[in-house]
Amino acid sequence: MYSTKIVKAENSSAAVQAIGSSKEGKILAGGMTLIPTLKQRLANPDCLIDISGCGLEGVEDKGSSVRIGAMTKHAAVAESSLVAKAIPALADLAGGIGDRQVRNRGTLGGSVANNDPAACYPSAVMALDGTVHTNKRDISADDFFKGMFETALEEDEVIEAVSFKKPEKACYMKFPNPASRYAMVGVFVAKFSDGVRVAVTGAGEEGVFRHSDLESALSSNFSEEAVSGVEVSSDGLMSDIHASADYRANLIGEMTKRAVSS
Amino acid sequence: MSEGIGASVKRKEDRKFLTGKGRYTDDINRPGQVHAHFLRSDVAHANIKSINTKAASAAAGVVAVYTGEDIDVGGPICGWVVPNRDGSATHEPPHPLLAKGKVRFVGDAVAVVIAESLQQAKSASELVEVEYEELPAVVDLETASAGAEIHEGMAENRYFDWELGDEEATDKALKSASRVVKLTVRNNRLVPNPMEPRAALAEYDDLNDSYTLYTTSQSPHLTRLVLAAFMFQIPESKIRVVAPDVGGGFGAKIYVYVEEAVCTWASKKIKRPIKWTADRTQAFLTDAHGRDHINNVQLALDSNNKIIGLRVDTLANLGGYLSAFAVAVPTYLHGTLLSGLYDIPAIYTNVKGYATTTTPVDAYRGAGRPEATYLLERVIDQAAREVGMDQAEFRRLNFIPKDAFPYQTAVALQYDTGDYEPALDKAMEMIDYKNFESRRSEASKRGKYRGIGVSSYIEACGIAPSAVAGALGGRVGGWESASVRVDPTGTITVTTGAHSHGQGHATTFAQIVTEKLGVPNSSVELVHGDSDRSPFGMGTYGSRSLAVGGVAISKALDKVIEKSKKIAAHLMEASADDVEFKEGKFTVSGTDKETAFGEVALAAYVPHNYPLETLEPGLEETAFYDPMNFTYPAGTHIAEVEVDPTTGVVEIVDWAACDDFGNLINPMIVEGQVHGGIAQGIGQALLENAHYDENGQLLTASYMDYCMPRADDLPSFKVECTNTPCTHNDLGVKGCGEAGAIASPPALINAIINALSPLGVSDMSMPATPETVWRAIQNAQARAAE
Amino acid sequence: MEIKESYDLPLPIETVWQALNDEGFLKNSIPGCEKLERISPNELSAEVKLKIGPMSTRFKGKVNLSDLNPPNGYTISGSGTGGIAGAASGSAKVSLSKMEDGEGTILSYQVKAEVKGKIAQLGSRLIHSTAKKLAKKFFSNFVQELAK
């Protein structure tokens, strides 16, 4: 990697300030994507702002939702008894990201801010009608994700926490890419009293998305048969050496069925 | 004895490795050392118009920058050639150490930047300006002959066009056959991926005008030979090659690559030690790849379902340069194995080896034999299906019968011994073959397609009988050396030319010593991997370490015993002919006289009472062993799978392996080798594939995209052995390193086809990824609906 | 890989054609374009900063205009090297046609893209989506510029 400067921020406003005073500073959360990129010399930021000391870790029960600090590690979410009780599907999702080493370094905020089209967490934020809390504002999930690797975050904005609404029932089904074990297709189904939300990751060319046909079918009839009745289109789905858009479309249907029947 | 031959002694070397105390090339540092970074081509095929190294040379920390124009020594050589069908020779185009005028694959080394730190070398390499004139990439094997010329004057990009067997007799058999089974298979290209990437640390000694190269090699002596005699043209004694602990090789570390040679060459230019260690993507781009064949197969059957002929036409992709043993792999390690363990009266094969603008291809665990086994076991399976016979019984019907050994095949080899039915029977019993159909119907109730697949294989190991290798185009011998030094106190130092990079030689070889001399394992020290410390050797590959290197140790031990008996006879005042040696003690038959091995050792070095007039003092013997024939491990693997039709995911639910490796020295290590081999074979069949785009870019150059098998991809293997000892070596051993990788891919693919055959699926390509399997199911269902 | 899309523009074909040949318009349309200078009638030198997720690389190269058929279309192609990241090139065959109402213009394009070196070796899963995204961005920027 190229040499760079590391600044340890004490709170999120200090982090934002450090970003502002750098030319091309980057926030360093868990570093699970950023550090390998730097090692490959594919980015050359003049400054890394380490936010591990900003007090952004922890899980809180907020009644109708669960609020998780941005720097909370995947392993902590996976092992949290609070999450396991309130939204077990979220704990499952966190426990299935990467490997043990990644889960002990990687963070919720890092994953959400990066918005990798094959990351697991964005689907949970989307399906659980989440809210992204930044140092400036609260952003609803539907407004937050703006396409592959793009979010509503502005230059002077840092994610502090994400809130997830407690569903009546939810399940995340991941079909992992056999090599990377990222989601080749991941479907998060969440049933609320006022309807069902279905978010798909790993498949869309624009990153995570809600599948409205599946949502309306499941909202009126929460069953595998309802899923079978939906023709999942391959339009807008990714094709790569691992899976064609057609195959991904098939997997969306299959993973949804499994999520519904689990 | 519990530590001798046949005991599952725990591996002596594991404590070091498991506690992170191995000492690998990259762990070694020399005073004043600098770092090399290679600038590589990111285009597959281009003329180099110009290279400007001015800015890089002036960059911070840079010691030197070299390009192909600076290099005044030769490049890698070809270690094996074959005659073409028209009598002409294999085309051996030059392979410069750094590209000269042209690049021929993505990753081809264009320049080397040497700097005080690796980061400085990398930064400076970004300042090297290379102007390319791009040429069309040649990627597809089937159309390579019509592609742009890769090597000057090499027509149709063909390195060689070789044949073996009786074409006339084979074509006659095909014509007279009551059925000809036809099949085209592709053996997917693999990247070896040893855990430790390649590395080199080269140091030049100005006082002696000599070099020391620490490197990741499976055969340090061969590396020295090639560097000294062929590249640098200096006395061999001026180079010392040390291969310290090496983290796996699988074939990829047999050869001398350009990077190791450039570091050695440059260490004299700058008179400082130079270190280079590949990162993982460099390993993907530059370690010789494996496999990559297309085979057109025709199998002739008579009306009794007996095989009467086999014709195989093979295209082999050998990449941008001809690697050291690239020619041998698809020819003599492949064509000669086409009889498998079947009695086939007529066989003919033609192999055409092509250049493409991709990474060079060479030996990878099994080397040629997995490709032969794959096509044969696939076509055998298809034949059984076509004639409506049980897959196991069809094989049994066509096996070479037990009483036919030694068996001369139609493709040059003579199998010394074998008995194939017991291994088949045992494997069938292990997997409960007879009750399979009930398991299939149970699975179908759960919506799964269950299948069972058989693969019966043979391999030629113990590479190689020199006379045979030489007659077939090999340019090196196939023997191995060993020396056994008995210390005055009776402890033993064994030096071998074989090299352990995961095989457990320190343990296995010690067991041979224990068995023969009666000393405990802990008294035996193994020295290997240093060209200055052991007699000349040929290294480790082709499942040869035990079958050739181990036998050499055994022969050196015999010499030690023979001399010891003479010393013991003197000590016991008896005739040497009357002295017996057993379990560490010398006795005189018919008397109660005895003396311990340790007493004899001491007497040899403290010869106060010693027959000095007839016997030299000391107790140290060297043996060279060149085998009379290959060894022929064989066996049967049976895989059982369940396919999920909704996703195409294949789950391996059971695996039975029954192998005949002859006598076993350490059954636990053998089982480990079988496990590792099967894992790699499963990798090939289900997961791994080197994927190039049409421009010759390797799209699978990291673990994000290249799928290695992981523990949770694998079932628990059931492993057993039968034993027909090898008839022509002292230990009766055959070799076990490659068997798993050879046997397993067809077992798995046959199982998947078997599972899906109720749907009408009759073919499956490797790797059988979920999408590949899902598509086969979709297509079959669409055909059925028509 | 090939990518096809089309846009309906409420502008006469001549206006669109002119814009397609104006380096100011092109510079504002090429995603991440930091520099675009005409070096000959149909050749421009370019510097583009490309950010894909955590990766951020500056490509230096050329933009060529060929197959010119005013005002019905041309092929715009670009290729650049991004140092250690490798190289990228792409071309868009752009066709303009009058809408049936005679007022507006249909702009359609067909894109081909290639990447080389490290970005191909490490980022293969993203190549297609990224090419599609960049093409879309270029034309949507272009349409927006025209609307100004």
- In DSSP notation, B3-63 reads TSTT--PPPTTHHHHHTT---BGGG---TT-EEEEEEE-SSSSEEEEEEE-HHHHTSTTEE
Enumerate domains of chain A plus CATH numbers: 5-50 (3.30.43.10), 59-165 (3.30.465.10), 169-261 (3.30.390.50)
Chain C residues touching A147 at Cβ < 8 A: 133
E-only strand ranges, chain C: 2-9, 33-40, 43-52, 55-69, 73-81, 87-98, 105-116
Residue C54 in tokens: 């955590």
Specify whether the CB–CB gap between B750 and B756 falls below 8 A.
Answer: no
Identify the burial level of A259 via C-beta atoms within 10 angstroms of its C-beta, where 0-12 means exposed, 13-18 middle and 19 or more buried.
buried
Contact check, Cβ <8 Å, B647/A175: yes
In this complex, which chains have at least 3 CB pairs below 8 Å with chain C? A, B
Give the C-alpha separation, B647 to A255, whole Å: 9
Give the C-alpha separation, B550 to B601, whole Å: 23
How far is the alpha carbon of C145 from chain A, nearest alpha carbon, in Å? Answer: 21
Nearest to B430 by CA among B459, B399, B392, B403: B392
Output the domain CATH number for residue C143: 3.30.530.20
Q: Where are the alpha helices (DSSP H) in A136-244?
A: 141-144, 212-220, 224-228
Mean per-residue pLDDT, A2-29: 95
Which pLDDT score is estimated for C128? 86
Which pLDDT score is estimated for C1? 60
Residue C91 in tokens: 């071309």
Give the C-alpha separation, B620 to B563, whole Å: 9
Specify whether the CB–CB gap between B673 and B737 falls below 8 A.
Answer: yes
Contact check, Cβ <8 Å, C54/A239: no
User: Mind spelling out the 3-state secondary structure of B720-748?
Assistant: EEECCCCCCCCCCECCCCCHHHHHHHHHH
CB-based contact, C133 to chain B, within 8 Å: no
**Residue of A33, A40, A241 lying closest to C124 (CB–CB):** A241
Contact check, Cβ <8 Å, B771/A254: no
Contact check, Cβ <8 Å, A247/B771: yes
CB-based contact, A175 to chain B, within 8 Å: yes
The sign of the dihedral angle between the CA atoms of A248, A253, A258, A260 is: positive
Enumerate domains of chain B plus CATH numbers: 14-135+195-248+253-286 (3.90.1170.50), 293-464+629-785 (3.30.365.10), 479-625 (3.30.365.10)
Specify whether the CB–CB gap between A5 and A47 falls below 8 A.
Answer: yes
Contact check, Cβ <8 Å, A242/B705: yes
Chain C residue whose CA is closest to A112: C53
Which pLDDT score is estimated for B382? 98
Q: Return the bridge partners of C36, or none.
A: C46
Chain C residues touching A45 at Cβ < 8 A: 56
Contact check, Cβ <8 Å, A178/B707: yes
Which pLDDT score is estimated for B534? 85
- pLDDT tens-digit readout, A79-138: 999 999 999 999 999 999 999 999 999 999 999 999 999 999 999 999 999 999 999 999
Contact check, Cβ <8 Å, B705/C86: no
Chain C residue whose CA is closest to B42: C117
Contact check, Cβ <8 Å, B687/A178: yes
Helices (runs of H) and strands (runs of E) counted in chain A? 12, 12
CB-based contact, B132 to chain C, within 8 Å: no
Residue B765 in tokens: 């390509």
Give the C-alpha separation, C121 to C132, whole Å: 19
Nearest to B351 by CA among B440, B464, B473, B254: B473
Residue A236 phi, psi (nearest 5): 80, 5
Chain C residues touching A106 at Cβ < 8 A: none
CB-based contact, C124 to chain A, within 8 Å: yes
Q: Which domain range does residue C78 map to?
A: 2-147
Nearest to B677 by CA among B744, B594, B735, B774: B744
Chain A residues touching B123 at Cβ < 8 A: 2
Chain C residue whose CA is closest to A44: C56
Q: What is the DSSP letter of B194?
A: -
Angle at B310 between CA B309 and CA B316, to 5 degrees: 165
In this complex, which chains have at least 3 CB pairs below 8 Å with chain A? B, C
Contact check, Cβ <8 Å, A114/C54: yes
Contact check, Cβ <8 Å, B698/C120: yes
CB-based contact, C57 to chain A, within 8 Å: yes
CB-based contact, A118 to chain B, within 8 Å: no
Mean pLDDT lowest among A209-213, B95-99, B716-720, C117-121: C117-121
Chain A residues touching B706 at Cβ < 8 A: 179
Contact check, Cβ <8 Å, B701/C121: yes
The secondary structure element, H or E, covering residue B355 is none
Chain C residues touching A34 at Cβ < 8 A: 54
Domain count, chain C: 1
Contact check, Cβ <8 Å, B771/A241: no
- pLDDT tens-digit readout, A135-161: 999 999 999 999 999 999 999 999 999
Residue C9 phi, psi (nearest 5): -115, 135
Measured in residues, chain A has a length of: 262
The secondary structure element, H or E, covering residue C20 is helix C13-20
How far is the alpha carbon of C24 from chain A, nearest alpha carbon, in Å? Answer: 26
For B85-93, which contacts have Cβ atoms below 8 Å and span 24 or more sequence positions?
B85/B161, B85/B162, B85/B163, B85/B350, B86/B161, B90/B159, B90/B160, B90/B322, B90/B327, B90/B473, B91/B151, B91/B154, B91/B158, B91/B159, B91/B160, B91/B322, B92/B159, B92/B322, B93/B151, B93/B152, B93/B154, B93/B321, B93/B322, B93/B355
Nearest to B596 by CA among B606, B608, B582, B612: B582
Query: Under DSSP, is residue A69 helix (H, G, I), strand (E, B) or coil?
Result: strand
CB-based contact, A216 to chain B, within 8 Å: no
How far is the alpha carbon of C110 from chain A, nearest alpha carbon, in Å? Answer: 17
Contact check, Cβ <8 Å, A179/B705: yes
Burial annotation B134-148 (CB, 10 A radius, 16+ → b, else e): ebebbbebeebeebe
Chain B residues touching A179 at Cβ < 8 A: 687, 700, 703-708
* Residue with token string 């055969």: B219
The whole-number mean pLDDT for each consecutive block of 10 residues of chain B, a chain of 786 residues, reads 90 94 97 98 97 98 98 94 96 97 98 98 97 97 98 97 98 98 98 97 97 97 95 96 96 96 98 98 97 98 98 98 96 96 98 98 97 98 98 98 96 94 98 98 98 97 88 86 96 94 95 96 95 88 92 97 96 95 94 95 96 95 95 98 98 98 97 98 98 96 96 96 96 96 98 97 98 98 90
Nearest to B555 by CA among B478, B465, B484, B632: B484
CB-based contact, B695 to chain C, within 8 Å: yes
**CA torsion, points A230, A231, A236, A241, in degrees to nearest 10?**
110
